[in-house]
Structures are given as C-alpha cells and as structure tokens.
C-alpha cells in the first residue's frame, strides 16, 4: 500500500517520524506530504498532487494542523482535505472529526450535551463578561480555543491581572475562552484510545512550581490503569466525535472525573516510554484496517 502522512511543514516531529517508521515496518510505502505542497483543482479530482508529482494513495494519516495559521490557511486546508476525501482515500483521523476536535469549546459543549462532565467554561468576545466571570470564579485559566501542549494557557487568581491579559487578546481580535480552574492532585490523566479500546494510559504530573501537567511543559508520565468510569468517558467521547484515535485528557476532581480536552493529533512519546505500548504501529494498523474495508 501507498500510505501518506500529511502534516504542517516539511520538518518532521518525533511523532511523525514514529508513524512513518511504523508504515515502513508494516511493509508499506510511506510518503511524507506537507500541507504546503498539496495542490488540487476544481474539475480535476483524480489524484493527489504534491508539487508537480501525482501520487496514488491508498490511505493517509492526518497530523499537525497547527493553531497559529491564518483563517484563510485553515479554510484552504479544510477544502484541500475534503477534496482528497472525495477520491475515496481513507484517512485517520477523518477530516471533519479532526477539525471539530481542534475546537476546544465545541468539544466540551458536545461532551456536556451527551452526559460527560466538563469544567465550567465561558466563551465570549466581551471584556465585561470575561471580567465578571474572572471575579466570580476567582481562580481561572485563560485558554486558546485551538492549541496544544499547554501553550498559551495562563492561570489567574487576580481578576484585574486577568482583565489586562484579556484586553490584550481582544486587541488582536482573539476570543476569550475562560475555564474555572480545577483543583487537582498535581496530576491529570492521559488516556489513549484507538478504535473502541483504551490502549495506554498514564498520570501526568506537573513539574515543581507549575500547575501544567503537559509533557511539553515539563510534566512527567507514570503508567496507570484508570478505573472503568474514566475509560468509559474516554471511549465515549472518541466515539461521539467519530475519531479513529485520540489522546483524552481527564482530571480528577471533587465532582468526579472531568473531561479537559480531546487531542486528535496527540503526541505519544512519553506514553510509549512509560507503558511500552507501540502506539504508532497501532495507529497505522487502524488506517490499514480502514483501507481494507
């Protein structure tokens, strides 16, 4: 089979290198295709073209949309992938679920509507509303609506400091996504779901003098076997969002487990290291399974 990894940029991440290696180890031809090099045409929908080369693909892994691109790039990449989809090329994750999961607020809304507990979260463009909720909740996290690895998330327990940060965001026409901070035992859970199974799990512990548990922010992973309730939440939200695989972040709270985020292009190096599970191989096997259907 000809299998591609489609991502932002020509520089491969560690996760992307693992996935390409898994494709080759399973006996298939691997292509690395940056978004920037794909071109499509209305009226010519017979193949994927990378630069001037036509490539016949059997399947593709979608990775790395990035969150700091322009709206025009975002819309263009969505349109390109939808046209690739019309060629009947199976993708993991599929286009619409991938883009939906990039929207942190919509993900939480859908989860809440289907009975999954989530942190109290406000989305607004109003400084007045943001300031009001910062005073009401006292301890908040100001988060980007699209992002990963904890980058751009800032915690405030002073509403006036939060106001100045929100004011700066509004100067650049950015929305305000504000979440009530959840007091947690210096850790949260990363649950990795592929298909309808939890394949690996770990606690993520925050480094000293930090509240962020993200591995990219210095967090530390420890393998764990979460209880059935946590596993059920992870499997349920992945299924609701129609994701072939996902890294699900869940926090333990006085209210019970709360869904924090769903990552449709989740990194997995630390999870592989602490659990010994070959996650990229299983992701590629999921793609191969879809191709053969």
Spell out the domain ranges in the chain.
Answer: 2-93, 101-116+185-292, 121-180
CATH code of the domain occupying 2-93: 3.40.50.20
Alpha carbons 219 and 187: distance in angstroms, whole number: 9
Three-state SS for 57? coil
The contacts of residue 213 (CB under 8 Å, 6+ apart) are: 150, 186, 187, 188, 204, 205, 206, 219
CB 32 within 8 A of CB 57: no
In the chain, pLDDT over 70 holds for what percent of residues?
A: 98
Q: Band the pLDDT of 4: cuts 50, 70, 90.
A: very high
Q: What is the pLDDT of residue 214?
A: 80
Tell me the per-residue pLDDT of 265-293, one tens digit each, with 9 for 90 and over. 999 999 999 999 999 999 999 999 999 98
**Do the strands 44-50 and 38-41 form a parallel or antiparallel pair, or are they unpaired?**
antiparallel
Place of tokens 């989305």: 123
Average pLDDT, the chain: 91
pLDDT value at residue 250: 96
Do β-strands 59-62 and 2-7 pair in parallel, antiparallel, or remain unpaired?
parallel
What's the rounded Cα separation, in Å, for the pair 211 and 187?
Answer: 9
- Residue 72 CB coordination number (10 Å): 8
Please tell me the class of the 101-116+185-292 domain. Answer: alpha beta
pLDDT tens, position by position, 127-171: 999 999 999 999 999 999 987 766 778 999 999 999 999 999 999
CATH 3.30.70.3000 corresponds to the domain 121-180? no
List pLDDT tens digits, range 207-259.
Answer: 888 878 788 777 888 999 999 999 999 999 999 999 999 999 999 998 899 99
Task: Say whether pLDDT at 65 is over 90.
Answer: no
With contact defined as beta carbons under 8 Å apart, do 45 and 83 qualify?
yes
Give the Cα separation of 262 and 120 in Å (integer). 16
CB of 230 within 8 A of CB of 191? yes
- 3-state SS track over 215-283: HHHCCEEEECCCCHHHHHHHHHHHHHCCCCEEEEEEECCCCCCEEEEEECCCCCHHHHHHHCCCHHHHH
Cα distances (Å, whole numbers) of residue 201 to 66, 238, 256, 283: 25, 15, 18, 15
């Amino acid at each position: 089979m000809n299998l591609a990894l489609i991502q932002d940029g020509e520089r491969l991440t560690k996760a992307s290198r693992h996935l390409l290696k898994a494709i080759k180890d399973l006996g298939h031809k691997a292509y690395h295709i940056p978004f920037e090099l794909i071109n499509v045409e209305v009226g010519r929908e017979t193949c994927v073209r990378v630069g001037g080369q036509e490539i016949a693909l059997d399947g593709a892994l979608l990775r790395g949309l990035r969150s700091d691109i322009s709206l025009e790039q975002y819309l263009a990449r969505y349109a390109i992938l939808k046209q690739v989809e019309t060629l009947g090329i199976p993708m993991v994750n599929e286009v619409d679920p991938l883009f939906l999961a990039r929207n942190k607020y919509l993900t939480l809304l859908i989860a809440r509507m289907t009975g999954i507990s989530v942190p109290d979260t406000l989305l607004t463009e109003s400084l007045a509303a943001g300031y009001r909720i910062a005073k009401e909740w006292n301890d908040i996290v100001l988060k980007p609506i699209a992002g990963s690895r904890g980058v751009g998330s800032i915690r405030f327990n002073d509403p006036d400091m939060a106001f100045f940060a929100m004011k700066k965001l509004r100067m650049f026409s950015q929305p305000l996504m504000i979440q009530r901070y959840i007091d947690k035992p210096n850790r949260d859970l990363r649950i990795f779901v592929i298909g309808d199974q939890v394949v690996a799990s770990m606690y993520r512990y925050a480094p000293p003098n930090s509240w962020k548990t993200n591995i990219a922010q210095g967090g530390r992973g420890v393998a764990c076997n979460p209880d059935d309730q946590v596993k059920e939440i992870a499997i349920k939200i992945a299924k609701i969002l129609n994701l072939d695989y996902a890294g699900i972040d869940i926090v333990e709270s006085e209210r019970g487990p709360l869904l924090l985020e769903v990552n449709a292009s989740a990194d997995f190096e630390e999870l592989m290291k602490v659990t010994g599970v070959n996650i990229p191989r299983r992701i590629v096997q999921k793609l191969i399974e879809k191709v053969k259907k």
